[in-house]
Amino acid sequence: MHSILARVREEALPIARQGKTADYIPALSSADPAALGLALFDAQGAMHSCGEAERRFSIQSISKVLALAYVMSELGEAAVFSRVGKEPSGDPFNSIIRLETSAKRRPFNPFINAGAIVVSSLMPGADASERNEGFIAFVRRLAHNPGLAMDEAVFLSERESAARNRSIAWFLKELKLIEGEVDDCLDGYFMQCALSMNAVELSRIGAALAMDGIDPSTGQRALSARASRVIKSLMVTCGMYDGSGEFAVDVGIPAKSGVGGGILAAVRDRYGIGVYGPALDERGNSIAGIEALKRLSGALDLRVL
């Protein structure tokens, strides 16, 4: 398996030159665009990795998967989907236009920024710090790392460059989809996005999703089967921003990306996959990471669609 991962990484790495790191969040712009790490956690609990798989980075929009899992586990499915839809938008992740033009006047899904801000605001806790403490404790259990923490520099950078997200949040407030103070809701959202992880940890979480909520390293249930299936379905339709359809055709597995360069993927009953490659394409997805997953899907016959 290591030789397959190493070959895939070598073949995918040159395409990183066609991408660039996220510069609209200043703290992300300094990442090494030539980095590429792959990690695969299998159904028997074995880890396989290569490249920069243990390099830490802020997970950004991958946190939307984890926040959805957390809120569903704490409050139930109806609490989320009474305020957020389950449909792909076809728009960029930070678009605001559908909130104003759609008849339902709510975010299309939990994986665009508008939907994720709503989900984040639903976390239990009196303020952003308390909500984030509960969220990180939840992710620590999934990742088997009690030391997971927020990257303070990324949090501050994101908060200081958040004009678009502030516009979205104030519109959500007008629509009565978030409660409490807008700045506090946004701080909680920025904190979850700034959570620092690596591809190895992402692959462990992906494996639990792949096994419908059973952690293959312990045999214990980490997530409900229903939550796992809802999340994977949304990953297929909405997980790769407005490139989700193309990714489904080319790779054929549930996945969620983040502008920090990460990708979390789950192959039913087989593997969890974590990827780190901070050079992004025009949609905000890891350009070398997608290429690696295309090649890995072909090499291991991963397609589930």
How far CA 72 is from CA of 68, 229, 247, in Å, comes to 6, 12, 26
Told to judge if 102 belongs to the known catalytic residues of this protein, a careful annotator would answer no
109 φψ region: left (φ > 0), alpha (ψ -120 to 50), beta (else): beta
Dist. CA 115–CA 133, nearest whole Å: 21
Residue of 112, 119, 128 lying closest to 187 (CA atoms): 128
Dist. CA 39–CA 52, nearest whole Å: 9
Told to judge if 64 belongs to the known catalytic residues of this protein, a careful annotator would answer yes
37, 53 Cβ separation under 8 angstroms:
yes
Catalytic residue among 71, 118, 259, 275: 259
How far CA 239 is from CA of 14, 82, 140, 189, 197, in Å, comes to 24, 20, 22, 18, 18
Dist. CA 156–CA 162, nearest whole Å: 10
Query: Residue 102: exposed, middle, or buried by beta-carbon count in 10 A (0-12, 13-18, 19+)?
Result: middle
- For 30, half-sphere exposure in the C-beta direction (CA atoms, 13 angstrom radius) is 7
Told to judge if 286 belongs to the known catalytic residues of this protein, a careful annotator would answer no
Catalytic residue among 70, 189, 271, 276: 189
Catalytic residue among 61, 95, 120, 228: 61
Told to judge if 189 belongs to the known catalytic residues of this protein, a careful annotator would answer yes
DSSP 3-state percent helix, strand, coil across the chain (nearest 5): 50, 10, 35
Catalytic residue among 241, 244, 294, 297: 241
Q: What angle do CA 146, 149, 151 make, to 5 degrees?
A: 160
71, 50 Cβ separation under 8 angstroms:
no
Q: Is 13 helix (H, G, I), strand (E, B) or coil?
A: helix
Residue of 188, 206, 190, 186 lying closest to 198 (CA atoms): 206
Dist. CA 172–CA 174, nearest whole Å: 5
Which active-site residues does the annotation give?
Answer: 61, 64, 189, 241, 259
